[in-house]
Structure formats: structure tokens, C-alpha cells
Chain A
Amino acid sequence: MILVENRMKDLETLFRNLDISTTMYKNAVDKYNAIASYLETKGIKCDIYPQGSFALGLVTRPVKEEKDVNYDLDVICELVYDKEKITPEYLKHLIGNALKESQTYKDRLIEYDKCWTLEFAEINEIAFNMDIIPSVEDKKTLSFYFDTNFLAITSKNEKDDYDWITINPKDYQSWFENINKPFLDYCQDSEKRLFMESYKTIYNKVEEIPTYFIKSPLQRVIQLLKRQRDIYFSAIKKEDKKPISAIITTLCSQIGEKANKNISDVELLTYIVSELDIYSKLMNDSEELFNKTYSEKVTIKKRKNKWEILNPVNPEDNLADSWNDDKEKAELFFGWIKNLQKTFLGYKEINDKEFFSILESSLGSTYVNKYIERKKYEMPVVSVLSAHKKSWGY
């Protein structure tokens, strides 16, 4: 049997390779800078910057219907306009029409409800989509939050009408970075060294490494959970009911905040998953009993039988809103947590074949086989199932 330490090493390897490559990162940054420059030539002054997982250092190779698919990278395209003087339709088409006039962009442009998506070709077999989200500043404030950076983005509904939607991604980023910083403080020197060793042909000095690539255990745990979520929900045929990334990031950060900061990826994963599992008691226990038993567990709440996971920078936004419309979503979420426990917390006790098989089933066979030598685990040759037949009972 392979030593537990070696299994740990292999797990860490898998933790470290879920991200976009340095080439893709550079390519993406070059691309959105080029878009900003192009728009400027069209008389549109804007600031384009990463949003969501791209801004938080949490990009994870997505999976859909059992297959790896293109990365989606979100960028905000912020214009200096008075929101009250323009319509959302005007803003959306101002950007869209300008991009349609470009030979470079016109054939790769698709309109979605909240963004313009540019599909970029494959680099090393991996393509990516850049979602450009037109936005302007929104003067909205929350009574108990003084420093809010709200943006108004456009949203197109089924009737092709456009509305404004308010978001504050910069505040969320600051909140996340604040929690992530102590983790980074512990590991950034070693992380930079490791990174330089791997990419010495690309970067000459430590200072040249984009901050995006210096990752903490918290970031890697979130990436791993996002990847495992995609594979798991695809396997159980419930992709439309998987927990949104904002729920995973928020819960992991709030739980991680209380963890020891000098911690390995696997230890942090164990801690977070065990903590999340405690909340599964909310499925059956009354709110009163749960609050009495676990008075300090306030990350996921149930109030008057309604699930509540508040957006930490906008308490008006309940991230678990859809769980209240569809009860199965909460059940599936906690089912997923139980599966995570089985998957990652028992890895010391099982045999090599089971361990490798669990890794493949959790993170995807292609991905695991790319980074871990299956021979080492004495795995049999695997072939694609040729026929998908339906069993039948007489």
C-alpha cells in the first residue's frame, strides 16, 4: 500500500492544478486590456477588471454533463455614466454594438442576459469564454454599511426587456481578501518559492509573479470543492440544482476564518467539511434545538423554516433564496457534504485502488490521470463504456 504521506502529496498535487494556466491567465489579461483599448478607440472610456472567481483567485476548470468544458472568466466593464441618465438597454448595446464593429470580436460575440460573451479559441486544448459585464456606478447605499461600492449591471429578461441589477463585487472581494490574508501571510514565501521553481522559464524574479497565482489553502480548498461539486452534481444528474459558487466561497470563508491559519490544504478541507456537516442537522432538528445545541454555528441559518445564507457584504441578498423555492436543493447540498466526508476524510483507511478510484470519481478521471500516475496505484486499464443500455424490470 502506498504510504499515507505519498497519498497526501498526490492530493496536494491535485489541489494545485485546478487553476487556469499562467499562459491562459496572461492571455486573458491581454485580451481584456485589448478590449478596453479598442473600446477607447470607439470613444468609450471604461475600466475593465476581473470579477467573481477570476478576481478572487478561485477559477476552477468547470465540468458540465460529465465533460470538461471551457473556462468562464468574468470581467466588469465599468463606464463613467450617470445611471439615472441612461437606460440599461442603451448601456448593453453601447458595448455590444462597438464590439460588433470589430473584425476581431464580431464573430465570437454572443449576447447573454447579463453580459456579452467572447469565445476565445483553444490554447493547449483549453478554450475560454470571457463574459464582459457592462456596468455603471450605482449610488445605492445600505443604511448600516458606509463603504459600499455598488454597481448597476444590465439584465435582459425573457421578453427582451432590460432592467438594472445592483451588485457589489468589489466589496465581496475586499471581504474575501481580508479573511484570506492571514492564510496567505503564513504561506506566501513558500508559495512564491514553489511557483518560481515550477515556472522559472517564464518568470525571472519573484516580483514578476502575478498575485493571482499565489494561493492560500483557503483558496485551494474552495477550488477543490467547486470542482468536486461540478463532478458530483453531474454524476447524480442534478446539475441544475448544484450550490452556486457564491455559497461555497462564503461558507468556506466564514468557517475558515475560525480555523488555524498555519494549516495544510487537506487539514483545512477536513475542518471545513466537518463543520459544514454539523449544519445538516438543520434538516431535521427544529431551529430552536439547533440554536440551543450549536449557539456559535451561525453560517447557515433557518428562520421560520426558511434557509438563510446571507451575502456578507449585502445582507439584503440571501444566497440560499432558491433553496426556499426548491426544498430539494438543501437536501442535495447536505447530501453532497456527506459525500465529501466519505470522499476526502477516510483516505487513510482505504486500499490504493479505492483511493485512486475515489479521486477519479470526485475530481474527474481525465484530470486525475493527468497529474497522478495510475500505475503507482496498480490501477487496471480503464476503457470507455461502449453502450448505455437501460435496465428493465418485467
Chain B
Amino acid sequence: MNIHLFEIPKLLTEFPGLKIIKNCELKLIIEGKIEIAKLYGEIPIYDDYEIQIEILRNYPHKLPIVKEIGGKIKKYRHIFTNGNLCIGTEADIFVNLFPEYSLFRYVDEFVISYLFTYSYFTKFGVFPFGDRSHGFNGVLEFYQEHFDVSSKEEAKFILASIFDKSNVVKMKMISDEYSNPISFYQEKIEKAIDSDFYSIYKKDFEKYKYKITEKRGGKLWLEMSRKKVFSKKV
């Protein structure tokens, strides 16, 4: 049995409204009410949601699929058209749950945080912790925080450079553009290569390779080269 599924009893105890509704060879489906009584600063949120969590047997290779089945979450920008909730970027979840990949923490931190955010958003019209852009931009926003750089372009450059070490000229360009020494990026790239999260970076690199390399070899670099020439002329 998948070791992570041993946490299911804890999950059901901590969230007593949840129960197993399907348990088969491929997956486990949990459904029921989750009550939120959480405090953020001075603001409490009391709410409840009917949710369904589908956990595949190969978790954490595949993240759970979470749906809100009570019909409360409508017309919201962080829900897929098929009703799956956009809990967070895969890398964000993996990095945060590393190394145990606790299922309980997945629900207690990511799912609860998502539901809290929705309630807060309907009450105050803002995302209390910010939110991520859709698609690849949102993925880069995570990497921007994770690599601790000031722009998405730098995050993209680091992510690309982990898997392509022939970026010396481009490293010079980006270091000029963002006024950081080359060693600033070199250290981050080396750290990432040796990191426990290497396989996570690789997964994202492969998934978004086209977007990463397209920009890297194309428009972005062209723009940066132009800027450089222009600034020299000035």
C-alpha cells in the first residue's frame, strides 16, 4: 500500500465531515463537509464547503484532484472549467510538502488555504496572500519567489540554465539587465542543481520547455540585446 495513504485515518479524524466514498485499485475518493474556523491577523473566517478529494494510488507522483461539490464556488478565477480547484502550482505544492509529502498537510495547508482565500475574497474582494497568474506566468511567479529573484525573466533564466550550461553569453546579458553580478546567478544555478528539488525543476522544465526555450532563444534575448545596444549608444 502507498505509504501516504496511511494518513487517511488522521485526515478523517481531523476533518470529521469527510468520509471515504470510493476505494479501488487506482484511487481513493473522499467526500464531505469541511468546516473552516480560521484566523488571519484579526480577521476570522467561519465557513463550510462540500468537497471531494480524489487521491490516486501513485500519490505524490500525481497530486490529488479537489472539487467543491456544494455549488458554493462559482465564477471564480481559480477553478478549472471541469470544476477542479486550482489549489497551487505543482512545484509550490511539492517544494512545500517535501520530503514527506504528507497528505494531511496537503489538505490542512493547501486545501484549507484555498477555501479560506475564497471566503475572504467573497467578503473583502481581495486575495489575502496574493494569487498567481494563470498558466506559465503563475509557475514563473512561484520560481521568482523560490529562487529569490526580482523578476520572472530571471526565474526563467535560472530554471533554463539548470538544464543547459551553455548560457554564458546570456548570463552576462541578464546580469547587466538586472544589475547583479554573474556570480549571483551562478550560485543560484549551482544550488538548484544540487538541490533536493532537482526532479521538480526538471518536471517543470520539460513541461514548459517550449515556452522557456522560445523566449530564451527568441524575443526576450533579442529585446535585451537591443536594449544593450541602445544603452551603449546613449
Contact = CB atoms under 8 A, between A and B. Distances in A.
Contact of B78 (A68, A364, A386, A393): A393
A388 interface: yes
B38 A389 contact: no
Contacts of B40: 66, 384-385, 388
B38 A361 contact: no
Interface string A377-394: 001111111111111111
B88 interface: yes
Contacts of A385: 38-40, 112-113, 116
B42 A392 contact: no
Contacts of A366: 42
A382 B39 contact: yes
B89 interface: yes
B53 interface: no
Given A365-B43, A391-B87, A391-B132, A382 B109 contact: no
Contacts of B124: 235-236
B61 interface: no
B186 interface: no
Q: How large is the interface on B (under 10, 10 to 19, 20 to 34, 35 or more residues)?
A: 35 or more
B39 A392 contact: no
A63 B42 CA distance: 9
Contacts of A394: 80, 86, 134-135
Chain B contact surface mostly: mixed
B132 A67 contact: no
Given A236-B126, A391-B132, A360 B113 contact: no
B70 to A, nearest CB: 18
A133 interface: no
Contacts of B131: 390-392
B128 interface: yes
The size bracket of the interface on A is: 20 to 34
A365 B78 contact: no
A386 B109 contact: yes
A389 B108 contact: no
A379 B45 CA distance: 12
Given A63-B42, A67-B41, A360-B44, A390 B135 contact: no
B88 A391 contact: yes
A389 B91 CA distance: 12
A389 B110 contact: yes
Interface in A348-383: 353, 357, 360-361, 364-367, 379-383
Interface of A: 63, 65-68, 231, 234-237, 353, 357, 360-361, 364-367, 379-394
Interface of B: 35, 37-44, 46, 77-80, 85-89, 92, 96, 108-110, 112-114, 116-117, 123-135, 138-139, 141-142
**Which 5 pairs of residues, A with B, have the shortest CB-CB distance?**
A66-B41, A387-B109, A364-B42, A391-B78, A389-B113
